[in-house]
Copies of this chain bind each other. A is one copy, B any other.
Amino acid sequence: MPQTPHVERHFTGSESVRDVVIGMSDGLTVPFALAAGLSGAVSSGHIVVVAGLAEIAAGSIAMGLGGFLAARSDAEHYEQELARERKEVETIPEAEATEVAEIFESYGLSKEESRPVIDALRQKPGAWVNFMMRFELGLEEPLRGRALRSALTIAGAYAIGGFLPLFPYMLLTRMRSAFSLSVTLTLLALFMFGYVKGRFTGTAPLRGAVQTLVIGALAAAAAFFIARLIS
């Protein structure tokens, strides 16, 4: 495979982490905001729970299946481009060699300076194809089995994140208490999640924590005021 071990590690880690982050960011935010919003407009905690669970079902299916199809379509796109490059390297090697020279020219290298590399690649068609995939098209080979794992990771993270803000409405009968507990728990969870997310993705943890908290709070506030306005 064309990737150096360094790059391979980089991408493996970030794709799984990114899936958890994608699922849990939205899972902690949208069902929470919907529950907070509805609790300003309806008098029954039961409706909040019904709407929240319906939202979790819809959201985790939409995001999980969406992630599945996106990952599968990335894999198909890679295969199509790979087949095209293979054919081009075989049938129009001169044009491909010119493309490689142009890539190096864009880094200020003359045709003479890049010629030894091009001549060497022409001796190794398999390596040449991999070189074109990465350096002409900027494509990484997708990991096998990624589509399904991605789907389950995103959907699971969404559902786990979404249950937390609903628990208080299941346990407590007084709407006001359920609302307060839900908001407190979820804002705390958003802060902690943002902190951990920051550590994984390279943002400063505290800044990640504050950003994630603010998104959740803004979404919930918007939902609350819109629901109250029209109810």
Contacts and interface: CB of A to CB of B under 8 A. Distances in A.
A219 B69 contact: no
Interface stretch (A56-64, A87-95, A172-180): A56-64
A222 B58 contact: yes
Given A138-B140, A201-B73, A30 B58 contact: yes
A222 B59 CA distance: 10
Contact of A227 (B54, B59, B103, B120): B54
Interface string A213-231: 0111011101110110011
Number of this chain's copies in the complex: 2
Given A69-B215, A127-B108, A215-B69, A62 B25 contact: yes
Contacts of A76: 203
Interface string A128-149: 1011001111101000000000
Give the interface size bracket for A toward B: 35 or more
Interface in A44-92: 46-47, 49-51, 53-55, 57-59, 61-63, 65-66, 69, 73, 76-77, 80
Given A6-B136, A34-B51, A57 B120 contact: no
Interface of A: 2-4, 6-7, 10-11, 25-26, 29-30, 32-34, 37-38, 41-42, 46-47, 49-51, 53-55, 57-59, 61-63, 65-66, 69, 73, 76-77, 80, 102-104, 106-110, 112-117, 119-121, 124, 127-128, 130-131, 134-138, 140, 201-203, 211, 214-216, 218-220, 222-224, 226-227, 230-231
